[in-house]
A and B are shown apart, each in its own frame.
Chain A
Amino acid sequence: MDLWFSEPHTPDVKMSIRVDRQLHSEQSEFQRIDIFESKEFGRFLTLDGLMMLTEKDEFIYHEMITHVAMASNPEIRNVLVIGAGDGGTVRELARYDTIEHIDMVEIDKRVVEVSKEFLQQTACSLDDQRVNIVYDDGLRFVRRKENCYDLIIVDSTDPFGPGEGLFTSEFYGNCFNALTEKGILVNQHESPYYADDAKAMQRAHKRIKEFFDVCRVYQAHIPTYPSGHWLFGFASKAIDPLTADIEKWNSLGLKTRYYNTDLHRGCFAIPNYVKELLENAN
């Protein structure tokens, strides 16, 4: 059988994965949710036909969206995660005994339910006692919060769907207001490579810069995302990830497959063309 999942990365480029079988498909209130099984990448989740994660490479994304901030400030106690219905981000956070509480705000309950059923690899910690799942719009949830989170992780879809509101000035301003004085905002920051993704990346950077004194971008290599070159934003009121004492993190003894403290320093070294894009983000 010759069954393929294809995702256009631009109107003229697409990535395809041979599918062994489709495990699930539904149209939720917000989006179309599909789970496939493949030989190369294992199971993978798509929303509205866009790749969210594969079992094979999700560790890169989820480690990088959590450990950089966690190593930069070991005193993080209260965390807000927006999006992330597959549970991967929460799984990484739950490994820290120091974290006391995680609010996870996901707009689509079905993504969580489907992940629990088909993606135990990522959804395994969603029942952790410290995790409070709220099914709500991230923008609405965060505007009611003030000075209460040490870390906000925005694990959103692209800005062309339900995640659109999570790439706006109002959202970043609301996040600033919801963070404590050493608060850190980490966001999925799109890719610099293809033009449309790069524009979304520039817009997000420009808007975050309006609010935060520390505003850096770091990168990771994620094979199944457009171009494979993916960025994360690190914004903070006070903590600079490049000068923070990150060596303590090693004493926690967490076993990771991608992140380490050498990479922590290295991932902020970005190519010149990306630097230019960021400098020209107006």
Chain B
Amino acid sequence: MLDQHRAPIYDALLRYRDARVVPFDVPGHKHGKGNPELTEFLGKTCLSVDVNSMKPLDNLCHPTSVIKEAEELAAEAFGAAYCFFMVGGTTSSVQSMVLSVCKAGEKIIMPRNVHRSAINALILSGAIPVYVNPGVNEKLGIPLGMSVKDVEKAILENPDAKAVFVNNPTYYGICSDLKRITDLAHSHGMAVIVDEAHGTHLYFGENLPISAMAAGADMAAVSMHKSGGSLTQSSFLLIGKGAEKFGVTEGRVRAVINLTQTTSGSYLLMSSLDISRRNLALHGKEIVEKAVNNAAYARVEISKIGGYYAFADELINGDDIYDFDRTKLSVHTRDIGLAGIEVYDYLRDNYDIQIEFGDIGNILAYISAGDMWKDIERLVSALAEIKRRFAKDKTGMLDHEYINPQVVLSPQAAFYGEQVSMPIEKSAGKISGEFVMCYPPGIPILAPGERITEEILAYIRYSKERGCMMTGTEDMEIENIKVIV
């Protein structure tokens, strides 16, 4: 048992500062003295520990002392065999997972409602996706988890696949049966990698869905900066106990990470991971309980307004909604005649409230231990006001968030294939060479290699009209799209 009260990177930075070391190394702002405006804005404390790798502070690419110790502490706290500190966001964790288990031309089984970072990883690696269509909830229109039956079918049809990728929980808080999927994949010799970007808290809360490490997965990408409290862009990549049976070793994964990760890892990000891990290890149970209670209270109050549906564990069906993450505050808005994105915009523009995202039929307000009760009251009251002032007739509203894709080419073949740009409105029938998505949530409507259909174009048009932030194409206006020649 390690002492989770320790925070080795944090302690090393304090020692460094107390030693009043004279910096003749990078960064050139020299503890902020060379950039007074930035120091004024971010604070002297912050700038004084924005430093570079050195012996007493270890080196992220090849950790042997304080970073290694911090990573081992984090591994123990999360029940992992090893934990890598990541400074390129969970995007880089997801990409490193995929690159660690699949070479070019090898198959990976995954749901299609993944974050773009997962499909980006396929472009980088040349791995071939075998998509499992997620279930779809008819009322809410949202994509769900994968059913075990569908995963089994994909495994049996593709016995040569190297890995199964699970997105758990989804942005909306929906969980698949991770334990059974893991056991099933393992029994067919496939590795299990989990995008757990929205699941840091599962490791510490009580009565929450099972975490990837507890389910026996081989790797998990954990966004510490979401529910873990660390700084934006900091993340963990966990290796499961027993992962070496599926070719996943600490050394190999580090080599993969070092292909793309910076050699100047930020000590602000790393110390934030170190301190946040300590906080979770020591107080995680209460922290998560507070978020669960905040979300539960908000759901009750939002339901009292009427018209909104703040969904939760009543959706659980033992299959593609195997479990629900109760820290999530997802609210279905279509019954008041407003798209989620419209409610999202009203909240910000009229009430100075910024939520995580709004899509076609739902909003997601991110709840954490950092929420003050009075802020929750504001959110609920603002939703009541939006209904009173802006509710409309819901006729004619689009009712689904997800369209099953027709995959024609692998993402890599399409991305590097010969492409030509054309007006998106005329592109039906062509194969897309680009992504199109609303961001957030960043789940592609179209990915490279997929057939563009009239249904998809109608969806894109509708999303634009309602005010979604569309991204993905080279054309910043999303008027033109590159298609495969």
Contacts and interface: CB of A to CB of B under 8 A. Distances in A.
B185 interface: no
Interface in B362-392: 373-374, 377-378, 380-382, 384-385, 388-389
A165 B388 contact: no
Contacts of B380: 140, 143
Given A168-B351, A169-B350, A169-B351, A174 B381 contact: yes
Contact of B377 (A137, A169, A173): A137
| B351, B378, B381: most-surrounded residue (chain A CB, <10 A) | B381
Contacts of B377: 137, 139-140, 165
Query: Interface extent on B, as a size class?
Result: 10 to 19
A49 interface: no
Contact of A169 (B301, B304, B374, B385): B385
Contacts of A174: 381, 384-385
Contacts of A137: 373-374, 377
Contacts of B382: 168-170
Nearest to B350: A169
Interface string A146-183: 00000000000000001011001111011001000000
A174 B381 CA distance: 7
Contacts of A140: 301, 377, 380-381
Contacts, number: 46
A56 B403 CA distance: 70
Interface in A97-118: none
B378 A173 contact: no
A174 B377 CA distance: 12
Contact of A143 (B351, B381, B389): B381
A170 B388 contact: no
A162 B374 contact: yes
Given A139-B378, A168-B378, A169-B382, A177 B350 contact: no
Given A143-B384, A177-B388, A170 B378 contact: yes
A274 to B, nearest CB: 24
A174 B305 CA distance: 12
Main secondary structure of the interface of A (DSSP, over half): helix
A170 B374 contact: no
A143 B377 CA distance: 10
B59 to A, nearest CB: 43
Interface in A133-148: 137, 139-140, 143-144
B128 to A, nearest CB: 50
| B304, B373, B384, B385: most-surrounded residue (chain A CB, <10 A) | B385
B388 to A, nearest CB: 6
A173 B385 contact: yes
Given A140-B380, A143-B380, A177-B388, A170 B373 contact: no
A157 to B, nearest CB: 12
Contacts of A139: 374, 377-378, 381
Contacts of A162: 374
Given A143-B381, A165-B381, A173 B388 contact: yes
Contacts of B384: 143, 170, 174
A164 B389 contact: no
| B351, B377, B378, B382: most-surrounded residue (chain A CB, <10 A) | B377
Contacts of A169: 350-352, 382, 385
A164 B384 CA distance: 18
A146 to B, nearest CB: 9
B331 to A, nearest CB: 16
A134 B351 CA distance: 26
B355 to A, nearest CB: 14
Nearest to B389: A173
B379 to A, nearest CB: 9
Interface in A197-225: none
A72 B20 CA distance: 68
A152 B90 CA distance: 49
A162 B301 CA distance: 20
B229 to A, nearest CB: 23
B385 A164 contact: no
Contacts of B373: 137
A140 B374 CA distance: 9
Contacts of B388: 173, 177
A169 B390 CA distance: 14
Interface in B310-365: 350-352
Contacts of B301: 140
Nearest to A172: B385
| B304, B374, B384: most-surrounded residue (chain A CB, <10 A) | B374
Nearest to B372: A164
Contacts of B378: 139, 165, 168, 170
A125 B438 CA distance: 58
A140 B383 CA distance: 12
A173 B377 CA distance: 14
A177 B387 CA distance: 12
Interface in B192-215: none
A140 B384 CA distance: 11
A165 B385 CA distance: 14
A60 to B, nearest CB: 29
A107 to B, nearest CB: 9
Nearest to A144: B304
25 contacts: A137-B374, A139-B374, A139-B377, A140-B301, A140-B377, A143-B380, A143-B384, A165-B374, A165-B378, A168-B378, A168-B381, A168-B382, A169-B351, A169-B352, A170-B351, A170-B382, A170-B384, A170-B385, A171-B381, A173-B388, A173-B389, A174-B381, A174-B384, A174-B385, A177-B388
Please give me the 6 A-B residue pairs with the lowest Cβ-Cβ distance, nearest first: A170-B381, A170-B382, A173-B385, A139-B377, A143-B381, A143-B384
Given A139-B381, A143-B380, A168-B378, 12 more contacts: A137-B374, A137-B377, A139-B374, A140-B380, A143-B384, A164-B374, A168-B352, A170-B384, A170-B385, A173-B388, A173-B389, A177-B388
Interface of A: 137, 139-140, 143-144, 162, 164-165, 168-171, 173-174, 177
Interface of B: 301, 304, 350-352, 373-374, 377-378, 380-382, 384-385, 388-389
